[in-house]
């Protein structure tokens, strides 16, 4: 989830793209895997991540013996490799021309309507039109909801699914996706879940749909998502300007231990926490909406990519939740369910230890600030940020990814119920 784009790249490439009406290009940019085997080497990589004006770190530099992928522009290759060689840091070239991989991603954006919307990555306009059509097709069962507006005045649109069966207020489940713009598989999976809750004939899925009220926001960062389609596939943040740089990391901007760890105060960094907690209108308005539901919602879920992790609080501290035993129980049954269909292996644990320190996230906010005792983050396929088929995930894996995650949600919700959190 961590990506550090320097001032040079943002000012020069983005300005060029906007001037010419073209997408940012990464011709002859290379992708390397690097690995720090001790703390001294890790500190050097961290310094490069924090200070370089042109290197793009696709993974956060936080732990020794963990592979980190770095995008290196052509004019920096010699210097970059020299530093690694002098300091005896292991590296491996995984892509000679990043632009080739990005073109594969752009070619997977749907350009026309298809009978299967999960066979390609869809535009924001398509998803929003589809959500609106659901409210018309399922009157009384599907209600359009709005988690606020974006900086560029787009709606943060979603749906509430409530299949009435004569019961009083049902416990709520909140699902947000797409808070990081370039993680296309997250909104695609969220829309698949919406469709399954409304159309699946599977008995267990029907029970999920009929027993709970679902609040699902597929695009928590709509401006950024559009920008990844039109201008820069690698974009991750919001689009609010900060001087000569743009955007903050909306998953470091929530008002919980804001900017204490795993975030940056540099507006040009891709982990920029914003000028203050809730400085991003997307986060400010969405957090208010979540607050308004805190007496109803009992389970909070966030979809991200990549890594194939299931994560739970905390991200700001290694201190574990006081109900960690329950988290571990839900975690274990969920991972087992995800693996059954396609043998896909997920790992994870608490955010701080399993992936990296990250303060100001939506999951930590839900758990620490709203009283929602169960909050999880799914880091979806692939298990690495670069797989030779594009920066994220080939479109033919959208459906398998969503299917196995739906299996996991069934198991997760049932276990949360067994533990009494919906009572």
> Among 4-8, 139-143, 329-333, which stretch is predicted with the lowest mean pLDDT?
4-8
pLDDT of residue 385: 62
Which pLDDT band holds residue 5 (cuts at 50, 70, 90)?
Answer: very low
Residues 6+ positions from 46 with CB-CB distance below 8 Å? 61
Residue with tokens 């040009």: 268
Active site residue 40: no
Q: Which of 33, 183, 282, 379 is catalytic?
A: 379
Cα separation of the two ends of the chain? 34
pLDDT of residue 17: 41
Three-state SS for 264?
strand
Which pLDDT band holds residue 411 (cuts at 50, 70, 90)?
Answer: very high
Using alpha carbons only, give the angle 107, 282, 213 rounded to the nearest 5 degrees.
90
Which pLDDT band holds residue 334 (cuts at 50, 70, 90)?
Answer: very high
Residues 6+ positions from 57 with CB-CB distance below 8 Å? 2, 3, 4, 48, 49, 68, 69, 70, 71
The Cα 68–Cα 85 span in angstroms is 16
For residue 129, count CB atoms less than 10 angstroms from its CB and return exposed for 0-12, middle for 13-18, buried for 19 or more.
exposed
- Output the pTM of the full model: 0.92
For residue 86, count CB atoms less than 10 angstroms from its CB and return exposed for 0-12, middle for 13-18, buried for 19 or more.
exposed
The Cα 216–Cα 158 span in angstroms is 5
Q: What's the whole-number mean pLDDT along residues 4-30?
A: 57
pLDDT at 156 over 50: yes
Mind listing the pLDDT tens digit for each residue in 98-124?
999 899 999 999 998 878 999 999 999
The structural domains of the chain, ordered by start, are: 7-106 (3.30.70.340), 117-418 (3.40.630.10)
DSSP state of 250: T
The Cα 391–Cα 203 span in angstroms is 36
Residue with tokens 């709970």: 212
């Amino acid at each position: 989830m961590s990506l550090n784009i320097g001032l040079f790249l943002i000012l020069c490439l983005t300005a060029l793209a906007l001037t010419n009406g073209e997408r940012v290009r990464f011709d002859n940019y290379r992708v390397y895997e690097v690995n720090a085997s001790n703390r001294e080497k890790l500190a050097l990589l961290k310094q490069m991540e924090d200070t370089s004006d042109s290197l793009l770190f696709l993974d956060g530099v936080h732990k020794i013996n963990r592979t980190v992928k770095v995008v290196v522009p052509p004019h920096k290759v010699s210097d970059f490799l020299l530093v690694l060689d002098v300091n005896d840091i292991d590296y491996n070239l995984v892509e000679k021309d990043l632009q080739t991989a990005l073109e594969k991603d752009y070619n997977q954006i749907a350009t026309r309507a298809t009978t299967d919307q999960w066979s390609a990555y869809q535009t924001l306009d398509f998803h929003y039109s589809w959500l609106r059509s659901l409210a018309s097709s399922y009157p009384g069962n599907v209600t359009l909801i709005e988690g606020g507006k974006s900086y560029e005045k787009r709606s943060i649109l979603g749906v509430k699914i409530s299949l009435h069966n004569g019961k009083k207020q049902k416990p709520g489940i909140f699902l947000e996706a797409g808070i990081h713009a370039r993680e296309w598989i997250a909104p695609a999976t969220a829309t698949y879940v919406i469709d399954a809750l409304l159309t699946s004939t599977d008995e267990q899925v029907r029970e999920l749909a009929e027993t709970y009220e679902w609040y699902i926001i597929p695009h928590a960062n709509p401006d950024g998502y559009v920008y990844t389609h039109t201008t820069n596939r690698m974009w991750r943040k919001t689009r609010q300007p900060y001087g000569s740089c743009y955007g903050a990391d909306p998953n470091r901007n929530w008002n919980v231990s804001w900017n204490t760890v795993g975030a940056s105060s540099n507006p040009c960094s891709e982990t920029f926490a914003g000028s203050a907690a809730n400085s991003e209108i997307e986060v400010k308005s969405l957090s208010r909406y979540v607050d308004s539901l805190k007496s109803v919602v009992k389970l909070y879920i966030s979809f991200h990519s990549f890594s194939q992790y299931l994560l739970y609080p905390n991200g700001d501290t290694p201190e574990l939740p006081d109900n960690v035993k329950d988290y571990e129980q839900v975690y274990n049954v969920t991972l087992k369910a995800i693996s059954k269909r396609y043998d896909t292996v997920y790992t994870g644990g608490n955010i701080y230890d399993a992936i990296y320190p990250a303060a100001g996230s939506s999951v930590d906010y839900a758990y620490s600030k709203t009283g929602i005792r169960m909050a999880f983050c799914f880091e979806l396929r692939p298990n690495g940020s670069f797989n030779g088929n594009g920066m994220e995930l080939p479109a033919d894996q959208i459906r398998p990814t969503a299917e196995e995650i739906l299996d996991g949600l069934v198991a997760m919700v049932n276990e949360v119920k067994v533990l009494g959190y919906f009572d």
